[in-house]
Structure 1
Amino acid sequence: MTSSDESLSCSDNAGRHRFELHVAGQLAAYAEYNVLKNGLLLTHTEVLPAFEGRGIGSAIARHALESARQQSLSVIPVCQFMAAFLRKHPEYQDLVTLENRRAFRI
């Protein structure tokens, strides 16, 4: 993760349909989504080049998945990064329906 002197903040920018992660006030990453009736379609995750290799992608993924959990929403990980994150983190796999786990090989 980032060094301890950097302050991280995550938020849901609903107007832009994305979760955003800021490091020391600068946008470092975002995870785009679409809201469905009972789920969150995770479409794209991006870590800005200056912040790559510091665990920022994992931090925004956790934030997005925890947000879905708090809202009792399932997730559909169309985004390859999110699908890969879910494969490595079984503690979040309950957020993905069995059908979507098969479809995205989770």
Structure 2
Amino acid sequence: MTTTDKTGAATEVTAEADRFSISVGGRTAGFTEFIDHGKQRIFPHTEIGDDFEGRGLATILVRGALEATRDAGLRIVPVCSMVAGFIDKHPEFGDLVDPVSSDVKRILSDR
């Protein structure tokens, strides 16, 4: 997915094996990690580099990750506060959300 940030710079969200990353001008600006477990995609952590803060990149990144998760037919488990906050502001993803269960907590502690 390619779009522009608040400064008008082109961004690109890329799916990787265990994360989605966002780049600006060919430089990696951040990522959101995920763990696929059955029909769930668990999002434990999201990070945007200090040099890129305030540009709306987390919103672009999380939206891209959640759209890809929906397209893959997976449920969303928002452990990360950034992902959970995005979902609170964008109810169109609410029907895809599963709670952070004891099973999810076990998976995260085994990492």
Provide the TM-score with structure 2 as the length reference. 0.82
CA distance in 1, matches of 2:76, 2:43: 7
Read off the aligned partner of 1:10 and give its amino acid letter.
V
Alpha-carbon distance in structure 1 between the residues aligned to 2:71 and 2:55? 26
1:17-28 aligned at under 5 Å gives the runs 17-28=18-29
Question: Which residue does 2:66 correspond to in 1?
Answer: 65
2:15 aligns with 12
Counterparts of 1:9 and 1:84, CA distance in 2: 22
- Pairwise CA RMSD of aligned residues? 1.3
Please report how far the alpha carbon of residue 80 of structure 1 lies from its aligned counterpart in structure 2 after TM superposition: 1.0
Instruction: Measure the CA separation in 2 of the matches of 1:37 and 1:52.
Output: 33
Question: What is the aligned residue count?
Answer: 96
Q: What CA distance in whole angstroms lies between the structure 2 residues aligned with 1:10 and 1:83?
A: 19
Note if 1:2 corresponds to 2:3: no
SS of aligned partner of 1:53:
coil
- TM-score (norm: length of structure 1): 0.85
3-state secondary structure, aligned to 2:23: strand
Q: Please show how residues 24-35 of structure 1 align to structure 2 within 5 Å.
A: 24-35=25-36
| Gap regions ≥5 residues in structure 2 | 101-111
Identity level (%): 34
Deviation string 1:42-69 (CA, Å, 9 cap, x unpaired) is 0100010010011000011101100101
Partner in structure 1 of residue 50 of structure 2? 49
Q: CA deviation at 1:2?
A: 2.9
Shift of the alpha carbon at 1:3?
2.2
